[in-house]
Structure 1
Amino acid sequence: MKFSANLGFLWNELTLPDAIRAAKLAGFDAVECHWPYDVPAAEIRAALDETGLPMLGLNTRRGDVAAGDNGLSALTGREVEARAAISEALDYARATKTRAVHVMAGFASGPEAHASFIANLRFACAEAEAHGITILIEPLNHHDAPGYFLQTTEQAQDIISEVNHPALRLMFDCYHVQIMEGDLTRRLQNLLGLIGHIQFASVPDRGAPDHGEVDYHAIFATITRLGYDRPLGAEYKPAGKTEDSLSWFSVF
């Protein structure tokens, strides 16, 4: 089984290039990040080339975080900002050979928000397709992100169907899906054809996967049985130093 270190949470006390190096030393097969834009893309590309690790994904900017933004693409009236954030993310992904961009929806609801999200995703897919980049959408749970537009895999499935573009895929985060819907094994089975990336963390504390209500031995066995062989994203919050949280790594 292969694993990707999500550097939004792991080694986040280090600079992003040094976090990439730390992930390599720890034995991860890939890395991914949240919002790398304060670091020049050339520095990230150099660290990736040095370590040989691929960057699997990054997020579009959230917007005005101080004002409460958590994504822009479902916000009616902010299409110019949303598309600028998408273009910026795709440019950064091309410069770093990052494979996927997660387009963040933001806090919104209703048919107008749905229409805005669909239109912005179509824009993102059209821009991404020429460069072989995947566009991801991710349901977030209503405890960590109350009011987030995209909350369930069923909603995501409907959106992917409506956009109807091969570049658009589902980010299946076991942590969020367990909180909102449960039934992880069946959902993985039913949604495998739509999944572009899988992430994990313990539930409910979002810690390392060696405790909590999800049996990751069973979940990872299911993922393997289904034939999914890409690195799984370790997007969890270490209780202390990242190095001290990696005992699970030798178990799976």
Structure 2
Amino acid sequence: MSLPQAIFAAHRAGFDAVETHSLDLEDIDAVKAALDTTGLPLQLMNTGQGAPGEIGFNAIPGREAEARADIDKSIAIARRLQCDALHLLAGFTDAPAADTTFRANLDYACDAAARHDMTILIEPLNQQDMPGYFLSHADYALALIDRMGHPNLKLIFDCYHVQIMDGDLSRRITALLPLIGHVQIASVPDRGPPDEGEVNYRHICRLLDSLGWNRPLGVEYIPVGLTEETLGWMQWLRES
């Protein structure tokens, strides 16, 4: 299914917003037309994935020019699609200079995005699913945000990844809410629909409501069968 088709499917299913991975191979005009027709906002998009098997390259030393060209391109696409949040993918690396490289590219991205009132997001990905990904712990991500001091640098709090790597979701959400720019949910440990698994998302949603969270949640899970047949959780959560 193409992204425009997925946007129309999300609209039919009753979603309030959409998000997407990188848009390197998409027809941006067709994506824009689908967003305009459905009225769904594009909540966030990613910077470029890179070569097959990569998940970005912003922390990989020696690829700074490539990273910054991709940041410029991604910001331009996001502005065209009226998307105000861009997730900077770190990539797979354990190079000694990775921290320095990532911080330099984050500086560049935050400065460029601030000129257009955009937010830059970073997301820890768990090491069980993404072994070798540079950014894997919420505490390190938050230390980066605090140390760098950009008001438009925020955290993607993906409950699935954080639960696997760090746990203690309720206390972390409560403490970190001012630094969180987007929340995603999926069941743990199998990344299925959020009405399954070990995390009580009814509790998480009630907690977010009590804290004043008012942005749509991202639901990033692996369906078994047709996605349309796995959406019973939508009513389940809205009744929470």
Q: Normalising by structure 1, what TM-score?
A: 0.92
Q: How does 1:85-96 map to 2 (within 5 A)?
A: 85-96=70-81
Choose between structure 1 and 2 for higher RCO, CA contacts under 8 A separated by at least 6 residues.
Answer: 1
Secondary structure of 1:56 counterpart: strand
Within the candidate set 115, 118, 140, 2:103 is matched to: 118
Within the candidate set 22, 27, 31, 2:18 is matched to: 31
Within the candidate set 62, 87, 90, 2:49 is matched to: 62
Deviation at 1:36, TM superposition (A): 2.2
Counterpart residue identity of residue 222, structure 1: L
Within the candidate set 195, 200, 206, 1:221 is matched to: 206
2:25 is equivalent to residue 46 of structure 1: no
Deviation at 1:42, TM superposition (A): 1.5
1:64-121 CA-to-partner distances (Å, cap 9, x unmatched) read 22xx422111101110111122112111101111121100011123551000000000
How many Å separate the matches in 1 of 2:153 and 2:214? 19
1:126-170 CA-to-partner distances (Å, cap 9, x unmatched) read 110111111000000001111111111110011111221111100
Partner residue of 1:22? 9
Partner residue of 2:88? 103
Secondary structure of 2:42 counterpart: coil
CA 1:85/1:114 → structure 2, altered by over 3 Å: closer, same or farther?
Answer: same
Cα RMSD of the aligned pairs, angstroms, is 1.0
Partner residue of 2:169? 184
Which stretches of structure 1, 4 residues or more, deviate above 3 A after TM superposition?
Answer: none
Tell me, yes or no, if the aligned pair for 2:60 and 2:95 is still in contact at 8 Å.
no
Partner residue of 2:128? 143
Residue-pair matches, total? 237
1:177-224 CA-to-partner distances (Å, cap 9, x unmatched) read 000011000000011010000001001111100110111111111111
How many Å separate the matches in 1 of 2:56 and 2:121? 13
Q: How does 1:187-198 map to 2 (within 5 A)?
A: 187-198=172-183
1:51-74 CA-to-partner distances (Å, cap 9, x unmatched) read 111001111112122xx4221111
Tell me, yes or no, if the aligned pair for 2:48 and 2:70 is still in contact at 8 Å.
yes
Partner residue of 1:231? 216
Tell me, yes or no, if the aligned pair for 2:186 and 2:194 is still in contact at 8 Å.
yes
Q: Normalising by structure 2, what TM-score?
A: 0.96
